[in-house]
Amino acid sequence: MDTLRVSAAPVRSGRLGSERIRTIVVLAVVGVLLAGAAVVVEQPWAADGYTGVTLTGDVAGAAPVVGMAPPDFQATTTDGTAVSLAAYKGKPVWLTFGASWCADCRGEAPDIEATYEKYAPAGLVVLSVSIDEDADAVRAYADRVGLTFPQVADPSTTIAGRYRILGVPTHFFISPDGIIQEVRLGGLPPAEMERLVGTISR
């Protein structure tokens, strides 16, 4: 009986040790998941309703963030007009990345157009960059939907690469002094479009 009593203690201790290890592992996993969730919550641009993209353009350099000047670029719109982001300094600019093959982009396009029509007289510039499709496809889509703001095709993701676009739609709201005020990943409801335009208007 004494022998049994003595041998039972180590077994219980070993079992408790295994349970403690299991508990520590579970807590560690939960902690990692909660930390990841906290990072997402802290990113104001994180949202549902977007399509991931693969960038084939140059992705060297830092990604543009709120509080810094966006990378400049020169491009030609689908109607043949030369544009550059720097040329819009002094005006509020809504730079939006999307594509006609993106369902969420198609869903918000009429609301972007409506917001543009409302605020263009006050100086708002909306510039759309359509990635991974050519100018003919972009022009045909814009004509079909009735989009009147400038459209730029980015078939090789050259511009999208500079902006480190993770998915479309992605929106950059740039104030007249040329500084990014807001970045949003995912489709925007009309009320949020109005609010964000307000952050870059004088």
Average pLDDT across each block of 10 residues of the chain; the chain has 202 residues. List them in order: 42 56 54 37 51 88 93 96 96 98 96 98 98 97 98 97 95 98 96 97 82
Residues 175 and 198 sit within 8 Å (Cβ to Cβ): no
Q: What pLDDT, on the 0 to 100 scale, is given for residue 8?
A: 41
pLDDT of residue 62: 85
What pLDDT sits at residue 31? Answer: 44
pLDDT score at 48: 64
Spatial distance between the Cα atoms of 9 and 190, rounded to a whole number of angstroms: 68
**pTM (2 d.p.):** 0.77
SS3 content of the chain, % helix, strand, coil (to 5): 45, 20, 35
Predicted confidence at residue 19, as pLDDT, reads 67
Provide CB contacts within 8 A for 111, sequence distance 6+. 188, 189, 190, 193
User: According to the model, what pLDDT value does residue 36 have?
Assistant: 38
Residue 21: predicted pLDDT: 62
